[in-house]
Amino acid sequence: MFLTISTTGTPDRPATDLGFLLHKHPEKAQAFSTSYGTAHVLYPEADAERCTAALLLEVDAVALVRRGKGKGRGGAPDAALAQYVNDRPYAASSLLAVALSGVFSSAMRGVCNARPERAAQPLPLRIEIPALPARGGPELVRRLFEPLGWAVTAEPVPLDVRFPEWGDSRYVRLVLASDTLTLAEALRHLYVLLPVLDDAKHYWVASDEVDKLLRAGEGWLPDHPEHKLITSRYLSRRWSLTREAMERLELVRLAEADDSEVEEIDNAVEAESEAEEKPTPLAVQRRDAILAALRASGAGRVLDLGCGQGQLVQTLLKDPAFTEIVGVDVSMRALTIAGRRLKLDRMGERQASRVKLFQGSLAYTDNRLKGYDAAVLSEVIEHLDLPRLPALEYAVFGSARPRTVLVTTPNVEYNVRWESLPAGHVRHGDHRFEWTRDEFRAWARAVAERHGYEVEFVPVGPDDPQVGPPTQMAVFGMKVNDEKEAKAA
Ligand code: SAH
């Protein structure tokens, strides 16, 4: 079972730097014992132009079987021959991934004290695995590696070279080449994707596997087009773990997407105010409309769901009628900025006891959101993919169930009035959709119907006779009977 990693050098960057990056000296052959056998690291070639490190895993089939079975049951392992005579010693697989992470753990984390600047740089890489079990064949191998920046050669290995008519085995000879990746990224791709292709994990999947997957997948897995398949296969299709990982991946993806967006929010607000004829920016008019509706509802304890950088929270804090204000957002970065804006660290105790900020996704029910008087979703729904909207609906109207819910969203009909907006464009790069007034009303009425609320619509901004207002707001109030039920519950 083996794998080689090669790089080429330039006059100012000798290829043998690979030794520093891997923390393994090119002139030494080293052996490391693992619980499955021995891992060897050696360099078949090492000069300034080319350097190749090989990782060779000598698997102890007997130890492997003993580890997996033989516990309990009087210690007598099942003697079925298949357990000893299998492809484990020959095929690169999840064992190789485990060995990689053990033997090259610093390199995988991108740590290199001797050449710190080199560890952070992409380098020309060629990785070869002569026999890789690949369920899904060369086609899946390409789908997994190509989106990550690898040029992929995956050739099926014939079952038996003497009898080509027998067809191909489930192995491929894999060659990966790239000069856009760092060594750490390359190792983390292998660490996750080798077991995914092998699709037969050799050890029990424990819940810390989710952590391992997320750590190794940082920076590439959330946006990988096959992240579902990767996650479920990596976790051996254990549904509850897969779900946990998917949820956490989604949080990461949203938070990252949002990181770029957060900076844009203020700019967008400015752009909106510039495009506006009136002196009051639309964002301010929106907050005024929300404030008025909240006051009219008599709410004291308010949730600001998708609070962003906390402008509304700040506004609400100024009014003592709001006794508790909770800002929730999926983006840690937005919450950090909100905390700074509110000067949470310098706030008096009384004031501080009125405000809370925490991270959460509206796509999941959350008990922390129960028991409030009102919830605001200001310019949030359009940031979710349409298929996720029913989940948000349930989390807010089905599970949290505040008496009053305010939802604002752009009115797409008004977009023709924005001078700076080319026809057919949404207002913000991260808007997944923008609705007409009819579309928004149809959605809101259906939601109200399903969850026992009544709903009214309020225009925000100048109400244009043809295309309506720039922002539309729905004001949901829980129906009286439901309110009694909610109190009783
Ligand atoms: N409410 C603020 C911010 C709107 S921008 C305002 O009116 O100005 C949309 C916000 O929704 C962003 O801060 C984004 O991080 C947040 N968001 C997007 N998807 C989310 C989700 N699934 N759960 C919680 N917040 C989400």
pLDDT for the residue numbered 28: 85
Considering only residues 259 and 350, tell me which one the structure prediction assigns the higher pLDDT.
350
Atom of ligand 1 nearest to the CA of 307: 1
Report the C-alpha gap between 383 and 429 in whole angstroms: 10
Q: What number is the average pLDDT over the span 156-185? A: 85
Pocket probe mutation, ligand 1, options 251, 383, 460, 472, max atoms within 8 Å of Cβ: 383
C-alpha 181, offset from chain centre: 20
177: confidence class by pLDDT, cuts 50, 70, 90: very high
Question: Can you tell me the distance from the alpha carbon of 90 to that of 130, in angstroms, rounded to the nearest whole number?
Answer: 10
How many whole angstroms separate alpha carbon 263 and alpha carbon 273?
16
- Report long-range pairs for 230-239 (Cβ below 8 Å, ≥24 apart): 230/144, 230/192, 230/193, 230/196, 233/195, 233/196, 233/199, 234/192, 234/195, 234/196, 234/209, 235/205, 235/209, 235/210, 236/201, 236/205, 238/205
Phi/psi for 457 (5° steps) reads -120, 135
Q: For domain 276-488, give the fold.
A: Rossmann fold (3.40.50)
What does the pLDDT read at residue 407? Answer: 98
Q: From the CA of 377, give the closest atom in ligand 1.
A: 1
Q: Which of 139, 149, 151, 199 is nearest to 175 (CA)?
A: 151
- Quick: pLDDT tens for 17-39: 999 999 999 888 888 876 667 88
pLDDT tens string 194-211: 988 886 654 445 557 778
The three-class DSSP label of residue 43 is strand
Q: Residue 390: pLDDT band by 50, 70, 90 thresholds?
A: very high
**The ligand 1 atom nearest the CA atom of 286:** 7
In this chain, the answer to whether the domains covering 2-204 and 276-488 adopt an identical fold is no
The residue among 397 and 84 whose pLDDT is bigger is 397
- Domain range summary for the chain, segments of one domain joined by +: 2-204, 276-488
Percent of the chain residues past pLDDT 70, beyond the cut: 77
Q: Of all protein residues, whose CA lies closest to atom 9 belonging to ligand 1?
A: 380
Alpha carbon of 28 to ligand 1 centroid (Å) = 54
The finding on whether 361 has its CB within 6 A of some atom of ligand 1 is: yes
Domain 2-204 is classified in which CATH homologous superfamily? Hen1, N-terminal domain (3.30.1610.20)
Find, among 294, 284, 323, 324, the residue nearest to 476 by Cα.
294
Whether 9 contacts 50, CB under 8 Å: yes
**Ligand 1 centroid vs 459 CA: distance in angstroms?**
21
Element (H, E) at 488: helix 480-488
User: pLDDT for 412-465, tens place per residue?
Assistant: 998 887 765 555 666 666 788 999 999 999 999 999 999 999 999 999 988 988
Beta-bridge mates of residue 41: 30, 55
Query: What pLDDT is stored for residue 68 in this prediction?
Result: 46
Q: What's the one-letter identity of residue 390? A: P
pLDDT value at position 251? 62
Ligand 1 proximity of 294 Cβ (cutoff 6 Å)? no
Computed over every residue of the chain, the mean pLDDT equals 82
**Phi and psi torsions of 138, nearest 5°:** -55, -35
Sheet holding 30-34, edge to edge: 30-34, 37-46, 50-59, 2-8, 125-133, 168-178, 151-158
Q: What is the dihedral of CA 398, 403, 408, 412, to 10 degrees?
A: 60
In DSSP terms, 132 is beta-bridged to 172
CA 414 to ligand 1 center in whole angstroms: 22
- The DSSP code sequence of 104-159 is THHHHTT--SSSHHHHTS---EEEEEEEEE-TTHHHHHHHHHGGGT-EEEEEEEES
- pLDDT confidence band for 341 (50 / 70 / 90): confident
Between CA 51 and CA 125 the distance in angstroms is: 10
**Cα–Cα dist 277/367, whole Å:** 43
Is residue 59 pLDDT above 80, yes or no? no
Residues of the chain with pLDDT > 90, as a percent, come to: 46
Predicted pLDDT at 43: 95
Q: How far apart are CA 405 and CA 380, in angstroms?
A: 13
Confirm or reject: Cβ of 303 under 6 Å from ligand 1. no
Q: Is the pTM of this model over 0.95?
A: no
How high is the pLDDT of residue 392? 96
Nearest protein CA to atom 18 of ligand 1, as residue: 383
Reading the block at residue 454, the tokens are 């009544």
Residue 300 confidence (pLDDT) above 60: yes
Confidence (pLDDT) at 264: 41
Distance 327 CA to ligand 1 centre (A): 10
Q: pLDDT band at residue 246, thresholds of 50, 70 and 90?
A: low
Asked whether the beta carbons of 143 and 158 are under 8 A apart, the reply is no
Q: Is the CB of 282 under 6 A from ligand 1?
A: no
